[in-house]
């Protein structure tokens, strides 16, 4: 099939694009072109994401595609712009921010709705402040792989379509090279987009934004629960309630894979409840409830245990902004109050599944709290504790190896059994005994079904920092193959992948020295 032929039938290239965001008042954005890069090279393109906008695997490899996702040519039929927003950073009002290094190219129709295509790192915009509008290869690899990892885990996220490297130099702490991530989401609107117009006391723009978000993404908020004709106020309250619900559920999902976002500023909070703006994030290795993944977050504002409360605080800022156009403060407060019960219910439901229990029973909170304490005291590996619980006979590696060997199998050297994750094996055994009794009393699932069910919700492979770091270091030396291998592993994080045990292993000693910090 010729290059042109492949391109010709792609809606991505040929169907006229819209950019509904550009239909908002013109002070929401600035139209401007991207700034081309030197010798851009496609490092990786995501066929799963590509297919959602009608791109075949072959089309992802064409020069025409590379030109668009590197920002060296406009999206045919697109309407390129950078959006303005504001936000609270580390709890402090930061004033105007905006797409300082992001360009929205336009909207591409897919089978399951419209996707905005945005380039991150394609040059400066009027909102760059003192920044250069670029992103370095290191942080771009991290965003590319993390969005893919989250999608594999079934966690709402923006998606990465392509990763492009270039030869342009970018000054950070040292000289690095530039890269671009082409990412997609139904919308990149943030809590900070609302805060921006509230701070400027611009109710017309707030109304325009809220109406746009409701019409496109929350049409259910147009209809009142009672069927009685209601006011725009009530629609906006319903919008807040829905954003609260999605955000609370997202927090439960983050907490239960040990994901730390790192920079939960209000400008990084998606109005659609997606994981947005991957910077100094981290999937926890050794469990520490106070784990801080962002080296610059000295106070631990965004530590793992703080994330749900921060999300609630961020929603409070969103509610405050909506208060400019909603007079009924009590109704906004009630919507905010749904955060905690929604979060707790999502945690309970998911924890029951993770532990292979039937419905939540009185006393389960004690069993689970004791597991968190045990993990904390032993700095047990987050991912493997939950994963290995499914096969927890209480045998350590040596005994297990003998038993399995007798049965003609082998035990991985890399993936420690449950009991070996704890230094205090006695305490871990005692907890296991209580857990066994709870499972037996439950009897909701027979053993095989319970194990299968647990394995389907507890991932074996997550994007551990050291895995990303190894791929980055190799990429910085010109070898991108590890990015591709990690991509394959993370595609299906719940299934055991023969020959890839090393990707499930706990970090080597050097990993503790990895430091990741804000915007790069």
Residue owning tokens 């954003």: 243
State the Cα–Cα distance between residues 34 and 16, nearest whole angstrom: 20
> Which pair of structure tokens corresponds to residue 424?
């205090």
- Smallest gap, in angstroms, from Cβ of residue 335 to ligand AMP? 26
Considering beta carbons, is residue 10 or 125 the nearer one to ligand AMP?
Answer: 125
Contact 459, 493 (CB under 8 A): yes
* Cβ-closest position to Mg ion: 277
Instruction: Using CB under 5 A, list all residues that contact Mg ion.
Output: 268, 277
- Choose, from 99, 267, 285, 420, the residue flagged as catalytic: 267
State the Cα–Cα distance between residues 208 and 214, nearest whole angstrom: 10
State the Cα–Cα distance between residues 104 and 117, nearest whole angstrom: 6
Instruction: Using CB under 6 A, list all residues that contact ligand AMP.
Output: 97-101, 127-128, 131-134, 263, 268, 277, 279, 518-519
Contact 66, 164 (CB under 8 A): yes
Strands 92-96 and 86-89: antiparallel
Known catalytic residue at 168: no
Closest to 480 (Cα-Cα) out of 177, 65, 64: 177
Query: 267-301 in b/e burial notation, b at 16+ Cβ within 10 A?
Result: bbbbbbbbbbbbbbbbbbbbbbeebbbbeebeeeb
Considering beta carbons, is residue 79 or 99 the nearer one to ligand AMP?
Answer: 99
The torsion of the CA quartet 247, 251, 253, 255, rounded to 10 degrees, works out to 180
Considering beta carbons, is residue 234 or 275 the nearer one to ligand AMP?
Answer: 275
> Which pair of structure tokens corresponds to residue 114?
């419209």
Considering beta carbons, is residue 135 or 213 the nearer one to ligand AMP?
Answer: 135
Contact 122, 100 (CB under 8 A): no
- Smallest gap, in angstroms, from Cβ of residue 492 to ligand AMP? 29
Sign for the pseudo-dihedral over CA of 161, 216, 307, 462? negative
State the Cα–Cα distance between residues 193 and 203, nearest whole angstrom: 13
Contact 147, 154 (CB under 8 A): no
> Annotated catalytic sites, by residue?
267
């Amino acid at each position: 099939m010729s290059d042109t032929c492949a391109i010709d039938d792609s809606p991505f290239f040929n169907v006229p694009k819209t950019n509904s965001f550009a239909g908002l008042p013109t002070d929401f954005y600035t139209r401007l072109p991207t700034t081309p890069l030197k010798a851009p090279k496609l490092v990786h393109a995501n066929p799963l994401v590509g297919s959602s906008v009608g791109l075949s695997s072959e089309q992802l490899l064409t020069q025409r595609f590379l030109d668009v996702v590197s920002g060296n040519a406009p999206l045919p039929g697109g309407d390129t712009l950078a959006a303005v927003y504001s936000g609270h950073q580390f709890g402090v009002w930061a004033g105007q921010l905006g797409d300082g290094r992001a360009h929205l190219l336009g909207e591409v129709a897919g089978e399951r709705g419209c996707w905005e295509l945005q380039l991150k790192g394609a040059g400066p915009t009027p909102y760059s402040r003192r920044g250069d509008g670029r992103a370095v290869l290191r942080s771009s690899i991290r965003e590319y792989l993390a969005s893919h990892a989250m999608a594999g885990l079934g966690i709402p996220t923006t998606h990465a379509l392509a990763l492009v490297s270039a030869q342009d130099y970018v000054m950070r702490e040292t000289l690095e090279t530039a890269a671009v991530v082409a990412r997609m989401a139904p919308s990149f609107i943030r809590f900070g987009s609302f805060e921006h117009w509230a701070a400027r006391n611009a109710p017309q723009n707030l109304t325009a934004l809220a109406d746009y978000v409701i019409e496109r993404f929350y049409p259910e908020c147009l209809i009142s629960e009672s069927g009685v004709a209601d006011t725009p106020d009530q629609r906006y309250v319903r919008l807040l309630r829905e954003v609260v619900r999605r955000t609370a559920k997202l927090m439960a999902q983050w907490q239960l894979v040990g994901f730390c976002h790192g920079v939960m500023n209000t400008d990084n909070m998606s109005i659609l409840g997606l994981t947005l703006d991957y910077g100094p994030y981290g999937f926890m290795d050794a469990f520490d409830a106070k784990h801080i993944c962002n080296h610059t977050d000295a106070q631990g504002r965004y530590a793992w245990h703080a994330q749900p409360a921060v999300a609630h605080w961020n929603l409070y800022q969103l509610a405050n902004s909506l208060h400019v156009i909603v007079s009924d403060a009590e109704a906004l407060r009630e919507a905010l109050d749904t955060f905690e019960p929604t979060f707790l219910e999502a945690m309970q439901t998911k924890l029951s599944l993770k532990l292979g229990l039937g419905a939540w029973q009185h006393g389960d909170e004690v069993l689970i709290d004791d597991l968190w304490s045990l993990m904390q005291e032993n700095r047990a590996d987050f991912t493997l504790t939950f994963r290995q619980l499914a096969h927890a006979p209480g045998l350590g590696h040596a005994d297990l190896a003998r038993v399995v060997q007798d049965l003609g199998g082998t035990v991985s050297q890399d993936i420690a059994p449950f009991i070996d994750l704890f230094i205090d094996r006695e305490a871990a055994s005692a907890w296991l005994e209580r857990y066994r009794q709870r499972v037996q009393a439950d009897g909701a699932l027979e053993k095989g079904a319970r194990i299968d069910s647990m394995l389907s919700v507890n991932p074996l492979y997550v994007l551990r920092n050291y895995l990303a770091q190894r791929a980055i270091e190799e990429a910085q030396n010109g070898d991108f193959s590890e990015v591709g291998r990690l991509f394959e592993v993370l595609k299906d994080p719940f299934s055991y992948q023969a020959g890839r045990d090393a990707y499930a292993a706990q970090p080597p000693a050097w990993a503790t020295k990895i430091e990741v910090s804000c915007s790069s």
